[in-house]
Amino acid sequence: MNAEEKLASIFQQKKTAPFLFIGSGFTRHYLDSPTWLEILEKFAPKHINSYISSIGETNLPKIAQIVGKEINDHFWALPTNDPFKQKIQDKITTPTAVLRYQIAEELKKLDINNIDSKYNDEIKLLQHINIDGIITTNWDDILEQLFPKYMKLVGQEDLLTMHSYCIGEIYKIHGCIHQPATMILTDEDYSNFSKKNTYLAAKLITIFLEHPIIFLGYSISDPNIQDILKSIIVCLSSKKLNDLKNNLFFVEWNPSPDTPMNIYNHEFQNNGVIIPTTRIVTHDYTPIYRAINSFEREIPAPVLRHYKKQFYQIVYAEKPEKQLYVIDEKDIDNNKDIQFVVGFGAIQKYNSAVGYVGMSAANLFSDLISEDKKYDPISILTKTRPNLSGLLPQYKYLNQIGITSEEEYTQNKLGLNGPLNSLTSFQVYQYKNQAEHETKGKSIEDIIKNTDPKKVCVFIPYMQITEPDLPHILDFLKKNFNDFMIKKTYGSSYTSHYRKLACLYDWLKYGWHSKNESKKIITKRLKSK
């Protein structure tokens, strides 16, 4: 049995697919990316050796802290009309923010399309690999380029605020170039990271105990890995440490192309604790990727993530029966080939054979105001909305797939590129003067209670709106849905006005302009536009 067969046999015996733990050596292997030292050398105002001499050691986080402050001083000394200063000055909120921005812009140049053609087969194999997820300390976005359907979670905050299902996800635990403020760069960053990583450590413990972990692009002695393993080890009992053994695989690249892949047992010592690991030495990653793929699974990880997400929603739903379709026993008898059927928004499929492509605008507005998340957001955004005209809800579905900023929208991997709704999209200009006159001194609640529904739709977009007003708007939309959207009692023009109001609600409720802002800010923004 050769090394690849031996490794494949190990993975085949595992109950779950592996996780990849990716370090900077991975990007350097495929794209010859700069080292951390080379990055600091590029942007430091002085020769890097002067910083090493001043602190008495090659401590890159400490050097980054000093370099960042020096760059910050130089930046603010630039003339007011300096193009670089004008471009980023509004984004600079900390003494090291300029350096973070510079590093982020440099790493954004890395592109998988520039990978040497000699790796073509290897990369294709990697992109179809049977893994459950990826953990990385890298800032670059190479992994997102390689695995565009995986959900990205940046730092501990995303793990706390976004639903994680431990499958089809990329955990960028040291931050991301598309969010420079999240990048763990300086000694201060590392100190804060160590103090606040309790939840991250708990998350990693679960993954490490339940999955094989394959380290790519790290040295066994890498301080990042040492620190992470230390935070995990201190939380585990002797029994759980025993469960951890045989789950850690360190891949070490051998520069000699003539050396075959070899597998060794290796004891990893950390904080006085000895953990048995597997050390894999190879020049070519292809046998490792093939061995990983020996873990058989027909359904890709991103698809499984959506399944898991939908099942969670059913379990936690107040009325899960609305999301379930139970086929009659006689139907099963008449369709012997049916084993198990899973579908997103399946009840809509059985009620109407049109599917996502043939859904109407009324379906989307009904879903918006019912707030029961009955549809698959990716299908809505990629299949339904492109086939419909007029103003439609969009922020609810973008929010559900983790797109919560304009930056994330422009960088999405789903091919979404349509225009985003804004306040002026919801206003009917010819009613501006009338709206301002008739709503003066009145609240949203007053207008809804005492005004013709047709006027409510065109008046509210010109009013001051705060967060407590949203339930009143939602209640109006629910009560008048049939008249405007189904019966079309008031005619097509007023149906359009209703749609504008509903989309305004979508924007206020789920749009990123208000996601982390107070109701006071929402009001100011609406007044100023």
Three-state SS string over 377-400 comes to: HHHHHHHHHHHCCCCCCCHHHHHH
Can you tell me the distance from the alpha carbon of 348 to that of 295, in angstroms, rounded to the nearest whole number? 35
Ramachandran assignment for 168, one of left (phi > 0), alpha (psi -120 to 50 degrees), beta (any other)? left
Q: pLDDT value at position 189?
A: 92
Name the strands in the sheet holding 169-172, side by side, starting at the edge strand that comes first in the sequence: 151-154, 169-172, 133-136, 19-22, 213-216, 248-253, 273-282, 262-270
Q: pLDDT value at position 346?
A: 44
What pTM was computed for the model?
A: 0.60
Q: pLDDT value at position 518?
A: 36
Q: How far is CA 187 from CA 72, 190, 216, in A?
A: 17, 5, 24
Query: What are the structure tokens assigned to 114, written together?
Result: 């520039």
Look at residues 481, 528, 473, 468 and name the one whose alpha carbon lies nearest to residue 504: 473
Report which DSSP code applies to 7: H
- Please give the biggest Cα pair distance in the chain: 85
Q: What is the DSSP string of 176-228?
A: BTTBGGG---SHHHHHHHHHH-HHHHHHHHHHHHHS-EEEES--TT-HHHHHH
- Taken in order of first residue, the domains within the chain and their CATH numbers are 3-33+116-300 (3.40.50), 36-107 (no CATH), 302-400 (no CATH), 423-528 (no CATH)
Q: pLDDT value at position 34?
A: 93
Look at residues 312, 320, 303, 255 and name the one whose alpha carbon lies nearest to residue 281: 255
> 364, 383 in Cβ contact below 8 A?
no
Hey, what's the torsion of the CAs at 515, 521, 524, 529, to 10 degrees? Answer: -30
Q: pLDDT value at position 430?
A: 87
Under-50 pLDDT residues of the chain: 315-316, 321-330, 332, 336, 338-341, 343-354, 514-529
Terminal C-alpha separation, the chain = 70
Q: pLDDT value at position 340?
A: 45
Which amino acid is residue 486, in one-letter code? I
